[in-house]
């Protein structure tokens, strides 16, 4: 059974029956048209893009500013929150498989969660993460979409390049902590603000192996002092002093694997800084993770 604007308007009118001033059907139709991005019912009916059947819709991004403006023009007598809640409830009741979003940002958040879960649960990503000897930390999959860029009746591919960053287990050998990922997000529309089921396809997932420059993602981005300030959570001024310290490798017996680095602050830290470091770390031989140099412009171990 097709579900169009008439069914949505009927649901709005029925939902409003419990309010102090129930809506007439004509006003309900005007509010639905506004929620779907049109200034009037006539504009909606004349729009060639709008599908007569909204059943395939899985996400609706309310045009809330236009909806509230139309409600004010019609003098429906409801608060802004009551109008938005009424339309949300009616649309959800009529299209229970669809999610109604009151802002584009809320829709983007749902897409982001969907992408994150699709990527980290993909077989290739799981395999590459397992090889890292770490546990999942941050998932970074930047993307931008606008509703106007999503076509009607055909899917558009949005290419995404990002990574899954792993938390290193200090008890295990460090081999790399970034799984570089490329994926595609496919979206289609059935109306100005009605989006179909999103589809994510992971096209590649590859661990950036420690020491393999060809497998790294973006190049180094910070100075040694900046990296120390971030890693140790200290002031940049203090980190610039520690940048002159000797940093030793904590490696395997055969020298083939690096477990961590040891920063020896004793010979460079003035008394005041040494006191702060001892209070914070309990020692002036401060351990740094094996992936510490991944984002540093210069490393003595290159």
**Cα separation, 87 vs 16, whole angstroms:** 9
Can you give the pLDDT at residue 219?
46
> Which token pair is 64?
């809330």
pLDDT tens digits for range 10-36? 999 999 998 889 999 999 999 999 999
Q: Is 259 exposed, middle or buried (0-12, 13-18, 19+ CB in 10 A)?
A: middle
C-alpha separations of 285 from 251, 256, 290 in Å:
16, 22, 15
pLDDT tens digits for range 115-141? 999 999 999 999 888 888 778 888 888
Three-class secondary structure of residue 262 per DSSP = strand
C-alpha separations of 246 from 183, 285, 290, 295, 297 in Å:
41, 10, 16, 19, 17
Task: Read off the pLDDT of each residue in 185-202 and give the average, rounded to a whole number.
Answer: 95
Domain boundaries, the chain: 5-101, 104-215, 224-295
Helix (H) or strand (E) holding 205: strand 199-207
Three-class secondary structure of residue 283 per DSSP = coil
pTM comes to 0.67
> Which token pair is 9?
């308007």
Pairing of the two strands 59-61 and 99-101: parallel
pLDDT tens digits for range 147-169? 999 998 789 999 888 888 888 77
Task: Read off the pLDDT of each residue in 60-65 and give the average, rounded to a whole number.
Answer: 97
Can you give the pLDDT at residue 138?
83
Q: What number of other Cβ atoms are within 10 A of residue 143's Cβ?
A: 15
pLDDT tens digits for range 215-245? 444 444 567 888 898 889 888 889 999 999 9
Confidence of residue 55 (pLDDT cuts 50, 70, 90): very high
């Amino acid at each position: 059974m097709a579900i169009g604007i008439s069914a949505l308007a009927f649901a709005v009118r029925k939902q409003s029956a419990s309010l102090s001033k129930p809506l007439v059907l004509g006003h309900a139709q005007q509010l639905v048209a506004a929620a779907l991005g049109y200034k009037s019912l006539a504009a909606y009916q004349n729009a060639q893009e709008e599908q007569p059947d909204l059943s395939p819709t899985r996400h609706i991004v309310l045009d809330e500013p236009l909806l509230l403006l139309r409600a004010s023009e019609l003098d429906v007598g409801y608060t802004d929150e009551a109008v938005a809640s009424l339309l949300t409830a009616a649309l959800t009741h009529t299209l229970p498989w669809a999610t109604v979003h009151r802002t584009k940002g809320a829709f983007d958040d749902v897409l982001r969660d969907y992408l994150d879960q699709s990527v980290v649960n993909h077989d290739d990503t799981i395999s590459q993460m397992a090889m890292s000897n770490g546990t999942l930390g941050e998932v970074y999959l930047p993307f931008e979409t606008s509703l106007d860029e999503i076509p009607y009746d055909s899917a558009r591919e949005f290419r995404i390049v990002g990574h899954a960053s792993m938390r290193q287990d200090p008890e295990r050998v460090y081999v790399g902590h970034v799984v570089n990922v490329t994926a595609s997000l496919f979206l289609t529309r059935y109306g100005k603000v009605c989006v179909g089921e999103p589809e994510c396809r992971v096209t590649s997932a590859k661990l950036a192996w420690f020491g393999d420059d060809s497998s790294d993602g973006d190049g180094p981005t910070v100075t040694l002092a900046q990296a120390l300030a971030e890693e140790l959570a200290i002031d940049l001024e203090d980190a610039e002093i520690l940048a002159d310290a000797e940093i030793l490798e904590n490696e395997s017996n055969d020298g083939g694997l690096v477990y961590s680095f040891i920063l020896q602050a004793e010979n460079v830290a003035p008394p005041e800084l040494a006191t702060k470091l001892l209070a914070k770390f309990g020692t002036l031989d401060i351990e740094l993770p094996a992936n510490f140099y991944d984002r540093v412009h210069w490393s003595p171990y290159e």
